[in-house]
């Protein structure tokens, strides 16, 4: 049985499936999503374990099962083909859709994302690390986990956005179900997903790779992915780290709008 995920829909035009990162929700993606509702019907999804979707019953949070649930969203709405935009974990899922279901994905926008770990050893090491982090979440609680997550060096550049923004982001992350986050971490973490490096050549539609100028690791990954994709463009966003769409929304919104205009042939 395919899971039903919480979906929020705004706008008019061709479908754009929009996927948030780990500990996020639709709320984290709408500031960007609403910049394109004049040209797209945006379907913002709460991924398994997050937001109003929460912990699935039965609790199948596996990466491939989530891909099936996302295709199911399109099937339910008689959408033959969609664009997809994903950030971080959502980007990994967006790329998974483009690799596994190229006939359903017209174009792909990846923000701060990766094709996964290329070797079994790397994936196994990451699964062990994520399992230990999941244990910490259970033992020390959601508040500790969110503070720990937001303090990671990956998100250090967000400090410049100010206390009000950080408090709002913290509140959004704390609204998630801790059991759902554990299930997501174990089922759809980077170590749990297949490697898509060998499948990049099969992505038929155009791809926009968005990465913050200050996000050195994901900049390298973006250029590496671009070398394997048949039709890829890289947008390096100034004054931004990992969450470029949050840290420099105007620049990312412009890049996304121009990319979608190109997809539409306008």
Residue-wise pLDDT for 12-37, tens only, equals 999 999 999 999 999 999 999 999 99
CA angle, 195 then 199 then 205, to 5°: 125
Domain limits, the chain: 6-264
Report the distance separating Cα 189 and Cα 198, nearest Å. 19
Mean pLDDT value across the chain: 97
Question: Distance between CA 227 and CA 231 in Å, rounded?
Answer: 9
CB contact at 8 A, 259 and 35: no
Give the pLDDT score at 88.
Answer: 98
Spatial contact of 228 and 116, defined as CB atoms under 8 Å apart: no
Written as six digits, the tokens of 177 are 């179900």
Q: pLDDT (tens digit, 9 = 90+) per residue, 230-240?
A: 999 999 999 99
Assess contact for 242 and 221: CB atoms under 8 A: no
Q: Confidence class of residue 1 from pLDDT cuts 50, 70 and 90?
A: low
Examine the pLDDT at 217 and tell me if it is beyond 70: yes
pTM: 0.97
Region 74-91: what's the mean pLDDT?
A: 98
The CATH topology of domain 6-264 is Rossmann fold (3.40.50)
Q: 215 pLDDT band (50/70/90 cuts)?
A: very high
Determine the pLDDT at residue 113.
98
pLDDT in tens, 104-127: 999 999 999 999 999 999 999 999
Query: What are the backbone angles phi and psi of residue 242, rounded to the nearest 5°?
Result: -65, -45
The band of 2, judged by pLDDT with boundaries at 50, 70 and 90, is confident
Burial class (CB in 10 A: 0-12, 13-18, 19+), 96: buried
How far, in Å, CA of 2 to CA of 23, rounded?
22
């Amino acid at each position: 049985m395919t899971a039903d995920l919480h979906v929020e829909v705004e706008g008019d035009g061709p479908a754009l499936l929009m996927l948030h990162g780990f500990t996020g929700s639709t709320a984290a993606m709408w500031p960007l999503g609403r910049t394109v509702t004049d040209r797209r019907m945006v379907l913002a999804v709460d991924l398994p374990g997050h937001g109003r979707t929460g912990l699935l019953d039965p609790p199948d949070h596996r990466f491939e099962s989530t891909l099936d649930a996302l295709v199911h969203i399109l099937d339910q709405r008689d959408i033959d083909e969609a664009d997809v935009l994903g950030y971080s974990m959502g980007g990994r899922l967006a790329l998974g859709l483009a690799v596994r279901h190229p006939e359903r994905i017209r174009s792909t926008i990846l923000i701060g994302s990766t094709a996964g770990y290329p070797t079994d050893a790397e994936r196994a090491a990451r699964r062990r690390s994520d399992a230990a982090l999941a244990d910490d979440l259970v033992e020390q609680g959601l508040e500790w986990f969110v503070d720990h997550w937001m303090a990671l060096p990956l998100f250090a550049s967000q400090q410049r956005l100010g206390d009000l923004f950080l408090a709002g982001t913290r509140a959004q992350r704390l609204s998630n179900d801790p059991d759902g986050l554990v299930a997501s971490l174990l089922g759809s973490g980077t170590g749990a997903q297949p490697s898509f490096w060998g499948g990049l050549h099969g992505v038929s539609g155009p791809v926009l790779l968005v990465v913050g100028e200050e996000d050195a690791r994901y900049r390298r990954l973006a250029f590496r992915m671009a070398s394997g994709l048949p039709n890829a463009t890289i947008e390096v966003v100034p004054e931004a780290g990992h969450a470029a769409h949050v840290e420099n929304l105007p620049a990312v919104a412009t890049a996304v709008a121009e990319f979608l205009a190109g997809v539409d042939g306008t």
